[in-house]
Each structure stands twice: as C-alpha cells, then as structure tokens.
Chains A and B, each alone.
Chain A
Amino acid sequence: MPERPHRWGMTVDIDRCTGCQACTVACWAENNITINTQDIVNERRGYYWIRIERYWEGESPALKVRFFPVLWQQCANAPCEPVCPVYATHRSVDGINIQVYNRCVGTRYCANNCPYNARFFNFWERWPPEPMNNYLNPDVTVRSKGIMEKCSFCVQRIRRTERQAAREGRELRDGEVQPACVQTCPTGVFTFGDLADPNSQVSQLAQDPRHYRLLGHLGTDTSVIYLKRIDP
C-alpha cells in the first residue's frame, strides 16, 4: 500500500484518434472478452469494453468523420456503485471501480444506472471454442453466465507492476503501468497514470485547456478525461 493512494486515470486525446480499432482488439485479447459473433451483435448483446464510436458531421464533400473511443469512465462518484445490493461493484482505494465477479448476482441494476452504457451482462455461458481457448489470458477470469463485466483499467497489469515495484523496493514510475489499449494505440491517444500525482504526465494533460468530461453535467467526476478535437 503506497503512503499516498493512487488515483488511476486516463486522458483520451480525440485529436489523435484515427479510428483504427487497435485498442478494441488489444482489449479483447488482454481481458478474455467474448468474441462478438454475428449472433451476439444481432441480439444487441455485444461486448465492447472499449469501443470506437463513429459520428458523421455535415454532408459530403464537407463531411467530417469523428472517432470517439468510449471506455469505462471510472467515475469517482459512480451512479452504478450505490445501487448494487451486494457490493459487487465498488471503489477501491486507488480509485478504480472494481467489479467483483464472485459476488455479482446479476441484478443488472448497475447497467441501467450507468449513463455511459459501459457495462456488459453475460447472457450466455461463453467458453471460447477449441483452439481459441489457448489464447486466454491466465491473469483474467473468464466470466460465467449471469454476471456483469466491464473495463477494469487492466487491473491485472496494475497489480503486477505494483508487485514488481514492491519487489524491487521502489515507487511506481510514471507511465510504468500501461493498460492494453494504451500500450497498443499507434497514435498515442491514451495516456494512463496517477491523477493524484500532480507531476505525472496524465495530470499535466488533464490540465490542458481542451479537457472535458463525458456527461459532465451528471457530476460523476470521471477519471477518464477527454481532450477535445480542434479542427484546423
């Protein structure tokens, strides 16, 4: 336990996003997410821990395409937390909304109450088919039917890095922890770090005049901070 609790956060620079979906794939591989087959998508039960939303602005030829990565917002004031009857989702000391799969009974109240629509329910038991199960990440639980799941900021990586640092007897370095999406993004859209540390790169970026939060009027105080796109 560090003396000063972390508050893990992320900035998302929309200006850099090209909509290549590499983050989505990385997230899928890292977190053992169910494969979004055609059936699942047609049932409207797809799993996108991080998704690239695509918006069209204007008419051709002045058409503009906006790409907009939406992941779980890690609200400090999360609407999903108090409504869970069994503490399956609650806030950890280092500022992550953790989802405890063991405790979840699947009331799905949190999904209703999430204004960002970032929670996913396991409607079926989905064990990956034969060769695919060899891809599974051993650090991450495969979720059974009837429970909620969502982006965890790759908590397994955070913990691994923390353990590593503790073994080496040092503090965590800024930028040492990298969730899968951050690591993969070719254009560096995401910056991950400790928002409680004023000198970290992510805190610096969060001060950027372009910063804003999604659905800020709800007062959810998210840990994911977006940086606005400025059209040339």
Chain B
Amino acid sequence: MRRDREQPNEVRVTTPEEITGDVLRRYQAVGRGYWIAAAVTAALFLVGVMGLAFRLAGGTQDQAAWGYYAATFAYLLTTVQSAPLVSMGLLFTKAHLQRPISRSSLLFAFPGLLVFLLFIPLLPLIPPTKGRNSLWFEWPVGAPHVFDTLALGFLVLSGLVYLWMASWPDLLTVRTHGRGWRPRLAGFLAPHWQGTQGQWRVLKKALVFLGALYFVALVFTNSILSSDLSMSLVPGWQSAIYPPYHVLTALQGGVAATIVAMGIWRWTGFRSYLLFDHFWALGKLLLTLSLLGIYFWWSEFIVYWYGRTPREQMVLQLVMVGPYLPVFLSAFFFSFLVPLLSLIWNRVRQSILGPFLVACSVLLGLYLDRIRLYVTAFAAAQVSEHPIEQVPAAHLPDGADIMMMVGLPAGAILLYLVASRLVPGISIWELKESLLLRKARRFVQGYAVTLGKPE
C-alpha cells in the first residue's frame, strides 16, 4: 500500500470535468516564463543556424570539419526522435501509470522536423560505397543516400502522424471548450473527429499499428544511419553490435529527454498529474537502459580487447582510449555510471529530483558519446578497405562548431515549445480513460488499486 509514501501536497484530480477544466486552463495560460524560454531558444537557434551557414560556406569537401555537426545531428536523432516511443510503449504494455506522461514524450515528434532538415547537409558528406566497407555492399543503386533519406523521412513523418492522431480527441475538447484562437486551430487540425464509437475503434487500432511501425522504423533508421555516418567511415571498424548499441542509446536518450520534459512540465503547472510515481517508473526504466548500455559497450570492448589484432586495437585507440579518451571517459561517466551509481539507491530513485538530474546527466553524456563516435569517424574518414594505420589527432571544435552545438539543440527545444501550444501538454482523453479503469478498493486491511485490463 503506497498511501504512506505519497507526498502530502500532491492533489489528485479525480473527476473528468476537473481534468478537462484544469488542463485546458493551464494550456491556455501562456506565462512569462514561456515567452522568455521561447525567446532565448529562438536566439540560440539563430546562432546555430549562423554556425551552420558558416560551415556551409566552407563547403563540404573537408569531411573532418563536419564531425561536430554530424554529432549534433546524431544527438538529436537519438534523443528527440526516440522520445515518442515512451508514449507508444504504454499502448503495448497496457501500463496505466504512463498515461499522463504520454503527451510530454509525444510532443518530441514535432522537433523531428528539424532532425530531418539537419540531415540534408550531411548527404553530400557520405562517400560513395564503392571501394570501402559499408552496409550496402555497393548495392542497391542510390544507397546509402536515398535509403537513409527515405528511412529518416518515414520515421519523422510517422512520428508527426502519430502525434497528430493521438491528439484528435483532445483537439475536440479544445474545439468545444477552448478560448480565443485555439478552437479554430483545433478545428483546423482535426475537423473530422466526432468521438463516435467507430472513430474510437479506428483510432485505437491505428495507434497500436503506428506505434509498432514507428518502433521498427526507429530501429531501422538508427541502424543504418549509425553505420553510414560513423562506423563505415572508419576503415577496419567492423563491430556488429554498434547499430544495436546506437538503438539502445537512442532509447536511453528518449527516456532521459522525456524525464527532463516531464520535470519541466511539472514545475510549470501540471503538478497534479505528473506525480512521483511517474518519475519513479521512468527512473527505473532509465536505470535498466543504462545497465544495458554498459553491457552493450562491454561486449564490444571485450571482444576487441581480447582479440588483440592490430586492426581492432586501432579502432579501440580511435574511439575509446586514444586522443578522445577524456571525451569517452566523461561520456561513459555521465551516461552510464551516473545512472548506475545513483539510481540504484532507493532514496534517489524514489524521488522527483533524482531521476530528473540523472536524466540531465544522461543527456549530457550522450552528447559526449555522439561526439566521440561521429567526430572520430569523420576525422578518420577515408575511402579504403585497409584498416587505419595511424590514429589521427583529436579534432577540436571551432567557433562555428560550438555555435551549432549549442544552437541546433536549442532549435529542437524551441520546436517543442511551439508544439506544446498546439495541443495540451497532458493527454486529456488518456487521463479520463484511466479514471474509468482505475479504482481504489478496500483490500484486507488497507486500500489497494484495482486496474482494469480491457481485452
């Protein structure tokens, strides 16, 4: 019985009307904090775009110069683009707990637009597959450029469609109960939604289908992009676990991004929905994923280190213990060790601030990890089938790199802020549904929760 551990100042909203009213009120009230955040991120984004412009002016001949840009792109791909999966996961596991979380993670699908745009300048940087190791074996025609673009485009599009469809019922609520320009926008976005039984049935089926599709697309896109943009650029690097590692860190980044977004939502208003339970549950998930991350990293390391062949020693030198050792160590510390060492303690895990801070650390660590993987790959890039014989010196970021590295993630945050004004930040319909399926009952000597599990 968890009654005793519940924090006293947390108010649970208990009727459907209260939920509608409360969420809509907070959705419509745009505070000063929001505008400040929007202005700051917009300014930073501008800086980032300027950095990109500088870089573009330098041309795409110098591959090494684009390393930090590629790292930024990969970072956004592995955090922003995989965060919506947290919400989709609940559909498969029928977990009631995650209902209030779903929208804060799903809104990350909107910045996916930026991820897709950022991919375009990278296209000319992927060398042709002839005469080097690559996933595509010089086949089919147009690979990797065409297929990478198609995969990423499909991923971004299906994320947007999912976000759009999952907000239909809420858009109806906004249309009927909202104020100002919002009903018109909502009507424009979901004109057809009436909430009939047939529509609900279609919506539920479609969401499950799209969620599964999104997951498959995410795995596929991460697998091929990670190979094309980093591993296959390093001759002699042939690690089959690298694509799954990339997928795994993407899931980790998605969960971390969701926790951070949830924390901010909670402190800016949705205090009665995003409760301690949700942070706790996602904290456990983050811990699991971090442990798996260590495991995946280790299974690459042990095989290479034990094998002791010069080719593999060079790869280890390049991406781990060579000139990028500080980056690797700090990435490992922030994204794997911090979650492990802090989240195994109940005191840290069973709190709100704990998972939030750990998630911030993971986001930082993943950024460093992407730098370690992509900057090295771009610096080492050479079209050859022979293993590298000399580890290049560390490539340091220049002014444009720093501008992009700060500005482009800020752009993603800006898009998230924009999206949060298009639809409510808490999924009203999912909360209402959970009110129906979740009842507190007397059980033996205390209270317990009864969870309905519809077929």
Contacts and interface: CB of A to CB of B under 8 A. Distances in A.
A77 interface: yes
B384 interface: no
Contacts of B311: 217
B310 A217 contact: yes
A217 B306 contact: no
Contacts of B9: none
Interface string B308-331: 111101000000000000000000
A175 interface: no
A100 to B, nearest CB: 22
Contacts of A82: 306
Interface string A77-111: 10100100000000000000000000000000000
A219 interface: yes
B-side binding surface: helix, strand, loop or mixed?
helix
A218 interface: yes
A143 to B, nearest CB: 29
A77 B310 CA distance: 11
Contacts of A217: 309-311
A225 B306 CA distance: 24
Interface string B279-319: 00000000000000000000000000010111101000000
Nearest to B311: A217
Nearest to B387: A217
B306 A219 contact: no
Interface in A42-76: none
B133 to A, nearest CB: 15
Nearest to A219: B310
A217 B310 CA distance: 7
Interface size class of A (residues with CB under 8 A): under 10
Contacts of B306: 82
Interface string A213-232: 00001110000000000000
A55 to B, nearest CB: 25
- Residue among B306, B309, B311 with the highest chain A CB neighbour number at 10 A: B309
A175 to B, nearest CB: 33
Interface string A107-143: 0000000000000000000000000000000000000
Nearest to B306: A82
Contacts of B313: 219
A112 to B, nearest CB: 14
A35 B313 CA distance: 42
Contacts of A79: 308
A71 B385 CA distance: 31
A64 B308 CA distance: 36
Contacts of B308: 77, 79, 219
Contacts of A77: 308
A219 B305 CA distance: 13
A98 to B, nearest CB: 20
A82 B306 CA distance: 9
Contacts of B309: 217-219
Contacts of A219: 308-310, 313
A229 B134 CA distance: 36
Interface in B306-363: 306, 308-311, 313
A219 B308 CA distance: 7
A26 to B, nearest CB: 33
Interface in B248-268: none
A218 B311 CA distance: 8
A79 B312 CA distance: 14
Contacts of B310: 217-219
Interface in A14-50: none
Contacts of A218: 309-310
Interface string B139-159: 000000000000000000000
B317 to A, nearest CB: 13
Nearest to B313: A219
A82 B313 CA distance: 17
Nearest to A83: B306
B236 to A, nearest CB: 10
A76 B446 CA distance: 70
A77 B312 CA distance: 15
B312 to A, nearest CB: 9
Interface in A172-231: 217-219
A216 B253 CA distance: 41
A18 B308 CA distance: 35
A114 to B, nearest CB: 14
A218 B308 CA distance: 8
Nearest to A218: B309
Nearest to A115: B309
A90 to B, nearest CB: 16
The 4 closest A-B pairs by CB, nearest first: A219-B310, A218-B309, A219-B309, A77-B308
12 contacts: A77-B308, A79-B308, A82-B306, A217-B309, A217-B310, A217-B311, A218-B309, A218-B310, A219-B308, A219-B309, A219-B310, A219-B313
Given A77-B308, A217-B311, A219-B313, 5 more contacts: A82-B306, A217-B309, A218-B309, A219-B308, A219-B309
